[in-house]
Chains A and B, each alone.
Chain A
């Protein structure tokens, strides 16, 4: 059976995977399907179990519990060299004693392919480094090594390509450039990419589907827009962008909408955007969805009154306001500087308003700070 694994194709399915090291659970009851041909991102803070998950898919680690399928083939215990899966390692792991050409040809040769030149040249052209074929890995810059590691993997045309923080060691500018390039290469070669990152911006720009991971579990999975517009947990709401989470209570329903009480003021939101399990809820609104108006001017949609501007920071395209609300919470508001309206000043009495459909509802027992203390720009641990 393990011999056919090498030709297995299809969706990758992880079913109830757990990986424990002694008492410590690195990956906890994780179930995940990665559709064939997609650019899939596994996003989460350092230490949440991303690498461990990838290593189990690659076969470098065996799950304590659970199974892994590629298409219809069970590959849970298949040896790494019998899986049609290749990895771009976090530190590239190029073979220092082999030339770039031989590094790339390594996988082809091991599968008994004699005539490797054409394929190696093609992939070297794809990563735009054909002139480096005879060099040794130590003679290359970080960005070049990164591309060679990618070339070494995709030359095998695996059913699944795993990338473990492939851009983590590059500087910001090169990282942005490589993000676009990786996405382009993925479309070009049409392989399934599983991209691991702790950088939410990177995941959002590149992936078709993102799974947000936290403490060994998947918090939520969906398209970048889904995750951003309708996060299901406080962790997702805070880890992807910023959120205002306001303590609220569900009073009742009104057609397809819920009637919500926020410290005595009534707002409404679509029922289907609430993930609350009882009457208690956190109402979530992204800072750029809020509008600010001076008291007495007309407003639309949901409104919250009694606030005043606490702080103003002008940052070019937008202005960021901190609005202090009567219940003691400070709300974050981003206003585009495109409507010619004079900015508000510190101390102005204001009303905050927004479209009800932008509201998302979280369970009332959530930890509102989850996902805020982790800094996504922090370099990955080794």
Chain B
């Protein structure tokens, strides 16, 4: 009898309804497919054209070669620019992470006059348009008779990276159970030992994340760098300048390599976290 009912009901669902039901069920997947395609087409393009046997201009596919990957410094200036970007990124990350972590602890842990004020001010560089920040930093340097160049660029990068470090580390500190530090003190650890053995190790993942963020912000910054670096060429500046006459395939190699490096780091962190959770 139940067989009869089944037979009777199936054809009664109209095809249109069935299609729309299928869409309803798979909508999220379809959206995701479009989303990722949209996001990854430029990356894929960059990657594919890093194998282009392009000669001078890398706009038209001329044939497959590994020579760009074998010799990434082949194009004039590209590795010099990359080196500058890495140096600036490293120094800016170092200073921004140290200062930002200290500010995060001060704001997150201590009550002092002007705490809420500092809390607000720290967001300012994040909200300020880069073009404004870059230009005002330049005029500041000029007022102090400092010529644009390497160190002013590092300084400028520290100013905008620091906010991101503070926000990231502060979130980690806020999620820390204060009872863990109390337990450490209860177990004969003085203030310094408590910080070193318990607080710092527990906040460390936040600090590491902040440092990665700072480096990637510094590495691909163009606007602020352009104002404050003078004749110094960084990687983003190199790409921008070469865009007019065709970006060399070596730039694609470096771009792709950076992408895969970042991807590898993210995957490694995920794996470590998963192992920890287990």
Chain A residues proximal to chain B, CB less than 8 Å = 58-60, 79-81, 85-87, 89, 91, 93-97, 106-107, 110-111, 136, 138-139, 152-153, 156
B185 within 8 Å of A (CB atoms): yes
Alpha-carbon distance A87/B188, docked complex (angstroms) = 11
Do B190 and A95 touch (CB < 8 A)?
no
Residue numbers in B under 8 Å from A80 (CB-CB) = 182, 185-186
Do A81 and B186 touch (CB < 8 A)?
yes
Chain A: which residue is nearest B205 at the CB level? A97
Decide: A91 near B179, CB < 8 A? Known: A97-B202, A136-B276.
yes
Chain A: which residue is nearest B181 at the CB level? A93
| Interface pairs A-B: 7 shortest CB-CB | A107-B187, A110-B188, A93-B183, A80-B185, A93-B179, A81-B188, A110-B189
Alpha-carbon distance A224/B180, docked complex (angstroms) = 34
Residue numbers in A under 8 Å from B177 (CB-CB) = 91, 93
Residue numbers in B under 8 Å from A89 (CB-CB) = 179, 182-183
B13 within 8 Å of A (CB atoms): no
Residue numbers in B under 8 Å from A87 (CB-CB) = 183, 186
Q: DSSP class of B's interface residues: helix, strand, loop or mixed?
A: helix
Decide: A95 near B184, CB < 8 A? Known: A89-B179, A138-B277.
yes
Residue count of chain B within 8 Å CB distance of chain A:
20
Alpha-carbon distance A156/B186, docked complex (angstroms) = 11
Q: List 28 A-B contacts (CB under 8 A).
A: A59-B185, A60-B186, A79-B190, A81-B185, A81-B188, A81-B190, A85-B186, A89-B179, A89-B182, A89-B183, A91-B177, A93-B180, A94-B183, A95-B198, A96-B180, A96-B202, A97-B201, A97-B202, A106-B184, A107-B187, A107-B188, A110-B187, A110-B189, A111-B188, A139-B278, A152-B187, A153-B187, A156-B188
Instruction: Digitize B267-278: 1 where CB-to-A-CB distance is under 8 Å, 0 elsewhere.
Output: 000000000111
| Minimum Cβ distance to chain B for residue A8 (Å) | 14
Chain A CB count within 10 A is highest, among B182, B186, B189, B190, for B186
Alpha-carbon distance A89/B185, docked complex (angstroms) = 13
Residue numbers in A under 8 Å from B190 (CB-CB) = 79, 81
Alpha-carbon distance A111/B197, docked complex (angstroms) = 14
| A-B pairs under 8 A by CB, number | 59
Interface residues of B in 179-219 (CB under 8 A from A): 179-180, 182-190, 193, 197-198, 201-202
Residue numbers in A under 8 Å from B186 (CB-CB) = 58-60, 80-81, 85-87
Instruction: Digitize B165-189: 1 where CB-to-A-CB distance is under 8 Å, 0 elsewhere.
Output: 0000000000001011011111111
Alpha-carbon distance A204/B101, docked complex (angstroms) = 50
Residue numbers in B under 8 Å from A96 (CB-CB) = 180, 202
Chain A: which residue is nearest B201 at the CB level? A97
Do B180 and A95 touch (CB < 8 A)?
yes
Give which listed residue, A91, A110, A152, contacts B193 with CB less than 8 A.
A110
Do A60 and B187 touch (CB < 8 A)?
no
Chain A: which residue is nearest B190 at the CB level? A81
Do B182 and A93 touch (CB < 8 A)?
yes
Chain B: which residue is nearest A107 at the CB level? B187
Alpha-carbon distance A90/B180, docked complex (angstroms) = 12
Interface residues of B in 53-83 (CB under 8 A from A): none
| Minimum Cβ distance to chain A for residue B278 (Å) | 8
Alpha-carbon distance A60/B182, docked complex (angstroms) = 7
Chain A: which residue is nearest B194 at the CB level? A81
Residue numbers in A under 8 Å from B179 (CB-CB) = 89, 91, 93
Do A156 and B276 touch (CB < 8 A)?
no
Chain B: which residue is nearest A102 at the CB level? B197
Alpha-carbon distance A86/B188, docked complex (angstroms) = 9
Residue numbers in B under 8 Å from A59 (CB-CB) = 185-186
| Minimum Cβ distance to chain A for residue B129 (Å) | 40
| Minimum Cβ distance to chain A for residue B206 (Å) | 13
Residue numbers in A under 8 Å from B189 (CB-CB) = 81, 106, 110
| Minimum Cβ distance to chain B for residue A200 (Å) | 26
Chain B CB count within 10 A is highest, among A80, A86, A136, for A80
Alpha-carbon distance A376/B177, docked complex (angstroms) = 27
Residue numbers in A under 8 Å from B202 (CB-CB) = 96-97
Q: A95-B184, A107-B187, A110-B188 are in contact. List 16 more A-B contacts (CB 8 A).
A: A58-B186, A59-B185, A80-B185, A80-B186, A86-B187, A93-B177, A93-B180, A93-B182, A93-B183, A94-B183, A95-B183, A96-B202, A106-B187, A106-B197, A138-B277, A139-B278
Chain A: which residue is nearest B204 at the CB level? A97
Alpha-carbon distance A136/B276, docked complex (angstroms) = 8
Alpha-carbon distance A79/B277, docked complex (angstroms) = 34
Residue numbers in B under 8 Å from A81 (CB-CB) = 185-190
Alpha-carbon distance A106/B187, docked complex (angstroms) = 7
Instruction: Digitize B223-253: 1 where CB-to-A-CB distance is under 8 Å, 0 elsewhere.
Output: 0000000000000000000000000000000
| Minimum Cβ distance to chain A for residue B179 (Å) | 4
Interface residues of B in 135-181 (CB under 8 A from A): 177, 179-180
Residue numbers in A under 8 Å from B278 (CB-CB) = 139
| Minimum Cβ distance to chain A for residue B178 (Å) | 9
| Minimum Cβ distance to chain B for residue A89 (Å) | 6
Alpha-carbon distance A156/B187, docked complex (angstroms) = 8
